[in-house]
Amino acid sequence: MATPTRTPTGFSGLDRPAGWRRPRGFVSPAALERPLGSLPGVGASLERKLRKLGLETPADLLGHRPHRYEEAVPELRIGDLVGEEEVVVTGIVESVRSRRARGRLTIQKATIASAGASIPAVWFNQPWLVERLPVGSEVRLRGHVRRGEFHVRAYDVSRVSATADFAPVYPASEELPARRLRELVEAVLPEVRFLPDPLPARLAERERLPSRGDALHALHRPGSLEEAERGRRRLAFDELLVLQLGLARRGREREAAVAPSLGTPGELTERYRRALPFVLTPEQESAIGELDVDLARRVPMQRLLQGDVGSGKTVVALYALLRAVGAGSQGALMAPTETLAEQHFLTIEGLCADLGVRCVLLTSGLPARVRAAAQAELAAGDAQLAVGTHALIQEHVAFHDLAVAVVDEQHRFGVQQRQALSGGRSPHVLHMTATPIPRTLALTVYGDLQVTEIARPPANRRPVITSWVTESRSSEAYRRLRRLLEQGRQAYVVCPLIERSERSEARAAEEETERLRRGELRDFRVGCLHGRLRPVERRKVMARFKARELDVLVATTVIEVGVDVPNATVMIVQEADRFGLAQLHQLRGRVGRGAEQSYCLLVSRAKEELTGAGRARLEALVRTTDGFELAEVDLELRGEGQLLGTRQAGLSELRFTRLRADRPLLERARVAALELVDEAGPLDDEVERLFGGADDAALA
Ligand code: ADP
Ligand code: MG
């Protein structure tokens, strides 16, 4: 077997193969932003299919990362070709032409000869080949023989490299096969070599990184897998540098700010501990220990408290808030939605009353009069704690003396951070997230935060038992649900995800509620919760469910976060295959919050109708309740960039980074970013062009 064993000869861009022609004029980055419809042979329908894959410009195409490369296949001489297995051949182009077949289809044929034998080679829809394969040039082809013709899957016009051996395989769609994508990438690839490189030359040199253009070229047409990997690493470096620049800038600003030192814990937090109906877990204790250290300093705390749903973060967050109160200052708890803010308030209010701490709720759903009163109390320092939505607290509350802010479930703290900094004083900030993000990713996304992780839930918690049935057996799921309801438990039924609009989703939830009231759940009290309900109504439904006046809550994903009813021990998720893994995990976190055994029943379409990834998601959920493990699975199934966490963080997609493998690269990008930020002069234009958006991206 003649697998190519050539050593990589640097980047293919260094030795420009015969047949390359430099495009006329300088190719500016703007040219790479033109619509793909401007490429020859790309019509409206193809353009639409491309758009569905997120590919709208040549730049997008170039950024479409192959998820793997074809394995090398044996090399044969043309004279020895028999059978139809995939092989590599080399030869000289004797003739080449392109002709139109039916419709849009064009066929390219070249005669390839070597050692006295020749064979017609066939391509489809690549009219530019005629220019790229001049007669007399040497080519290397990968493909197979069918009816006396060599059908080319990949080709290479360079003598020295073996790019045809490692044909890229792109993430494709049903309507748009990887082969077609390969052809299109091929069409735009020449443009890339003339792109300016935004990375300062001395940095590129020190990091021993290839130019961006060469890296892109190597990514799509590597001469070896090592070359592809080096290209990918350069592109990953750029991505990571963008992120780290944003973080570094933010970090530098923060270092200039000052926060009040809160000293050591006092009597209030002692009483708080005693008032809790349980003992804190060792994980919670160590989180609190870290907070105490932070809060004693005058450097504003920036800590991320990460823990799976139900791991007991809120208890820790309230501790931080009470530390502020104990020191005579104020605390604020900010949630991303009204429902969540209300939930937090319900949890906290009672405890605060017992401790003699005045806590007020601030949401836009409140009557204006009530809200104004709360604002006045906070301004005067009569109320010590505020619970509300981000928007409201940040924009409409002037605190008497805010010392600790807890930001829940969100990563949109940048803006607020800036405002708080403008006076040079900053509160200590604790960010909470229940989105399990693998540690590697956390460093990328929260590189400027200290991370505290609550890895284990309270011990009295039993893992939720999850099972997966297909629709044909959904009546079985409802039978199990009814049995548990008869035992006095409560349940959630999650309605299918409807992407069209919140309105149609709400309507579907209401219809489903009616259907269940008449059908499977006719002997039970069924309520409905969705995003179109007014806050008052929503609160009422939630309160009734909490008070056990309702047995079942039919809901949209609004219950995804925050809802905490320990007696609800069973959940049915309809059409579970439509949800993302992280989302299903969040949903499931609504049960299993008490000491009782809880169940989650996933109902999906027939297994044959599911994609491989869809099946893998549901299997993973059945297998484990560990959020971090699921996050890793998600990472594998979807690629790092699409992880919920990064999207929430508003970060540009991480397309090229492989977080686990790229840890050292990440460290280098951090160092480089700090250097760039500290350099006296402004970044030069090219760097700004590529990296200028970094700040906003990381803060959005
Ligand atoms: P998270 O905010 O991480 O989702 P919560 O703080 O809301 O989790 O806690 C989930 C549930 O577990 C709550 O009902 C809470 O009262 C309870 N809980 C928290 N800490 C403990 C503990 N140490 N022991 C027992 N139950 C706890
Ligand atoms: Mg919580």
457 C-beta closer than 6 A to ligand 1:
no
Shortest-distance Cα residue to atom 4 of ligand 1: 310
Which of these, 5, 22, 26, lies nearest to 13 by C-alpha position? 22
User: Which overall architecture, per CATH, does domain 465-624 show?
Assistant: 3-Layer(aba) Sandwich (3.40)
pLDDT at 401 over 90: yes
**CB proximity list for 88: less than 8 A, separation 6 or greater:** 2, 4, 72, 73, 74, 75, 76, 140, 141, 142, 162, 164, 165
- Write out the residues surrounding ion ligand 2, Cβ under 5 A: 314
319 pLDDT band, cuts 50/70/90, is very high
What is the C-alpha to C-alpha distance for residues 302 and 277, in angstroms, rounded to an integer? Answer: 29
pLDDT digits (tens, 9 = 90+) for 506-528: 888 999 999 999 999 999 999 99
Contact 75, 2 (CB under 8 A): yes
pLDDT at res. 280: 94
564 lines ligand 1 (CB under 6 A): yes
Q: Kindly state if the Cβ of 309 falls inside 6 Å of ligand 1.
A: yes
Instruction: Choose between 432 and 154: higher pLDDT.
Output: 432
Atom nearest to 315 CA in ligand 1: 6
Within 10 angstroms of residue 349's Cβ, the number of other Cβ atoms is: 16
Query: What would be the CATH architecture of the domain defined by 73-164?
Result: Beta Barrel (2.40)
State in Å: Cα 416 to ligand 1 middle.
Answer: 28
pLDDT at 571: 96
Strands (E) in 319-376, as ranges, are 330-335, 359-362
The CATH class of 267-297+311-433 is alpha beta
Ligand 1 proximity of 278 Cβ (cutoff 6 Å): yes
User: For helices 338-355 and 535-546, what crossing angle results, to 10°?
Assistant: 60
**How far is the centre of ligand 1, averaged over its atoms, from the C-alpha of 458 (Å)?**
7
CB 338 within 8 A of CB 361: no
Same fold, 28-69+170-191 and 465-624: no
Higher pLDDT, 94 or 645: 94
Protein residue with its CA nearest to atom 10 in ligand 1: 310
Question: Cα separations (Å) of 104 from 39, 46, 483, 603?
Answer: 14, 11, 61, 43
Locate the domains of the chain by residue range.
28-69+170-191, 73-164, 267-297+311-433, 465-624
Q: Are 78 and 112 in contact (CB under 8 A)?
A: yes
Per-residue b or e along 412-427, where b marks 16 or more CB atoms closer than 10 Å to that residue's CB? bbbebbeebbeeeebb
Which three-class secondary structure state does DSSP give residue 579?
A: coil
pLDDT digits (tens, 9 = 90+) for 47-92: 998 988 888 988 888 888 888 887 778 888 999 988 888 898 989 9
pLDDT band at 439 (very low <50, low <70, confident <90, very high): low
pLDDT over 70 percentage in the chain: 83
Ligand 1 and 588: CB distance under 6 A:
no
420 has a pLDDT exceeding 80:
no
Q: Residue 208: which of 672, 698, 688 has the closest Cα?
A: 672
Q: What is the pLDDT of residue 700?
A: 26
CA of 586 to the centre of ligand 2 (A): 11
Q: What is the pLDDT of residues 568-609, one digit of tens each?
A: 999 999 999 988 887 888 889 889 888 889 999 999 999 888
Q: Tell me what the mean pLDDT of segment 145-157 comes to.
A: 86
pTM above 0.75, yes or no: no
CATH of span 28-69+170-191 = 1.10.150
Question: H or E stretch including 686?
Answer: helix 685-691
554-576 confidence digits (pLDDT tens): 998 777 555 678 899 999 999 99
